Structure 1
């Protein structure tokens, strides 16, 4: 596999000059600098683990929002044009970048899990925490990988001879490994991180399990884990939705990827703001400006001077630069837990009442000063939840995954783009990976 033999072992991916502007090499650590032979190495390797994971998060936003109906192409990059026109190919650079970032995270996690048991002088508490962090982030990477690409390789070692020829693993097996990693992490992580939402805790794992079971359609468990997070009392919705857009580490943040002025690549800010490579789609602009969305229109902003030709004049506000205090990428926040619980309750036929789906939606809609929900039957409530997720979580990397997992992608996306095809419910396996890994040859996703 390229991701193990070249990208991960030898060096970080060498990017074109444009991509270097958007995504420079992380300042804090390079993967080929990792060493874990003594206790003093543990803090740096931990940074390396979080750094590898951090590189994934902008790709999650690109996959979740660019593949779906939240954006339209407005620039010059061919990869984003493919997303905008719904003509995605296996040679798309963002498709291969995301793959590489997933396996970079998996590699560092496997590196830790292999080496840490033999390192002397590490306190048992530190050993348990780093092991749990490695297992959770490996599990999360595999979770995103299988819902992006389908059946994917499942490496559990750093051995090159083993990893260079791994074929695709059935999604059910991948998800079983994800669940095992999550459960192991849940047992050993602290209840709450002493350093806030930038690091892992049991609450993060509970939020991940709520999302995991939602995707699995295990409604009872999705509701249970979402409720555990909601009832923990550790998080609260900010009164003004605008705060979610313009501020890092709000009171509702469960886990987010933090940046400082020294290491901020400003990738999403560059794409959305300075280069305007992609802009909010006309359809999203319309719904965010509706009474149903309410204050969620704060996610985007309008400048009449930019309105010309294909440019509708609207810009995503959610990602700035570090000095602006909104450069972070949120992985989990409390509002998603209410949305997960609402969907799980509705799917179990529990729409109305104090503990019904509509009650959870109303909490978010009151915060957004949006119009009241009047529907009560299951089908209409589920559609209301779908819309609420688009309003509330726009540009946080959920939309495409939501449409696919609910079976709504074809209906929604065919109406959005004449080029939509059901094959886009999965991204292609990167062609570069197929050429380098014999185990993937002849195993491309259908239609690519």
Structure 2
């Protein structure tokens, strides 16, 4: 694969710098002030620096970066309207559900994910081959890298279906990899996430929770169980999370996106002190028409006027007689000292648990986990006088109102619950094969083993 054919891994003063090229494995002479890749994993401090480099890349350019899956998949479904124009209209084509295999945004999504997977594989190989790292540190570093790789593969699988699943940095192997079937990808993710959870501990290695722990891996594992319709397995894992003393439900709607919350499982720290999150700038417009994204009227219509999420997580913008709503979950675009980009929070575990319970028809157990976010938003609690199908619909709706513009939630939730085709009523160009995107044409041209192209493209 193109993004696997060259790697240049060097650390200067414990800072990881990686370059990935397209032709062959570079052999470079290591300057006197630099250390080799092998040396990186002979010392805990430099190994942690390599891992920190991966986290920095995840924040800057990956499916979980604040300006990637959230806006792209939000507009691909029905949460966002897109007003962006580019020379190729790649973003707008995705919004109109008219993406093709040469779409540059799709290519960028694919390549950024696989570049970061390559780095995760390099870290995994490095710690496995290390004889100097203490076993506890080796397990932790491998567990974190394995979890990061799994999250990236999860997004690639959900968006592209059958995908290559490289687990090595050997470019000669990676450049001729064929696709792994969707079902086998899910099985591999289950295995990898179980391994990551076993390698990690519940303890956070930073009080700001900018590095994931065992519970983060378990949350991802629960998502895989739900894809496999293993409802009871998902229930057991999710109950372990929601009952953990590590976490507390945040009852104040105005504090949900503050970095100090005990409801946060994992969050990404902005690059520089004082930087706002990517979400804060991606969705911002004021005193003008939107030139990027605005919340769709279809989304707005699902909120009652008393819903505190509408009052606190959205902002009304009027200009030239027109009115739009912008996402306003993250408030600080500059001089930011209170917000990081939240990847996973306890509310997701609540609603996933509710889904696992309702699928088993354990209806009385479902209500507390749905009502938690409803009541925090100022809505009345649901009562026991409801059916399985109605509760499942309510859970899907509550996910939408709770997680709009976060990490592509709407797309992932609709796909998991087999409801993507309901978008046809609000997205005129929606087709059933739009449950996946086309594989990027440049990758297929480089590696014929990626054929055939996804259906419909």
TM-score range (shorter-chain normalised) is 0.7 to 0.9
Of 37, 50, 67 in structure 2, the residue corresponding to residue 35 of structure 1 is 37
- What residue number does 2:192 align with? 181
Question: For the Cα contact (< 8 Å) 1:261–1:322, is it kept in 2?
Answer: no
Of 215, 219, 227 in structure 2, the residue corresponding to residue 215 of structure 1 is 227
- What residue number does 1:15 align with? none
Of 268, 272, 278 in structure 2, the residue corresponding to residue 257 of structure 1 is 268
- What residue number does 2:3 align with? 3
208-217 or 142-151: which moved more? 208-217
- What residue number does 1:153 align with? 164
Of 109, 120, 124 in structure 2, the residue corresponding to residue 98 of structure 1 is 109
- What residue number does 1:70 align with? 79
1:117 to 1:150, Cα distance in 2 relative to 1, 3 A: same
Question: For the Cα contact (< 8 Å) 1:270–1:276, is it kept in 2?
Answer: no
Of 417, 420, 441 in structure 2, the residue corresponding to residue 409 of structure 1 is 420
- What residue number does 1:437 align with? 447
**1: CA distance, partners of 2:52 / 2:259:** 20
Of 134, 152, 174 in structure 2, the residue corresponding to residue 163 of structure 1 is 174
**2: CA distance, partners of 1:201 / 1:151:** 28
Deviation at 1:376, TM superposition (A): 0.9
1:53 to 1:179, Cα distance in 2 relative to 1, 3 A: farther
Instruction: Please state if 1:47 is matched with 2:57.
Output: no
Unaligned runs of at least 5 residues, structure 1 = 12-27
- What residue number does 1:279 align with? 294
1:279 to 1:189, Cα distance in 2 relative to 1, 3 A: same
Of 331, 352, 362 in structure 2, the residue corresponding to residue 350 of structure 1 is 362
**1: CA distance, partners of 2:314 / 2:104:** 27
- What residue number does 2:343 align with? 331
Of 358, 363, 368 in structure 1, the residue corresponding to residue 377 of structure 2 is 368
Deviation at 1:276, TM superposition (A): 3.8
1:79 to 1:266, Cα distance in 2 relative to 1, 3 A: farther
Q: Normalising by structure 1, report the TM-score.
A: 0.87
Question: For the Cα contact (< 8 Å) 1:189–1:202, is it kept in 2?
Answer: yes
Question: For the Cα contact (< 8 Å) 1:295–1:370, is it kept in 2?
Answer: no
Q: Deviations over 1:129-177 (max 9, x none)?
A: 1111111111221122111110100111111111111111112221222
Q: Deviations over 1:181-232 (max 9, x none)?
A: 1111111212121313211211111211222212222111111111101101
Q: Normalising by structure 2, report the TM-score.
A: 0.86
Q: CA RMSD in A?
A: 2.3
Of 232, 235, 247 in structure 1, the residue corresponding to residue 247 of structure 2 is 235
- What residue number does 1:60 align with? 69
Q: Deviations over 1:398-428 (max 9, x none)?
A: 10111122111112x1111111111211121
Tell me the number of residue pairs that the alignment of Structure 1 and Structure 2 aligns. Answer: 420
Instruction: Please state if 1:84 is matched with 2:95.
Output: yes
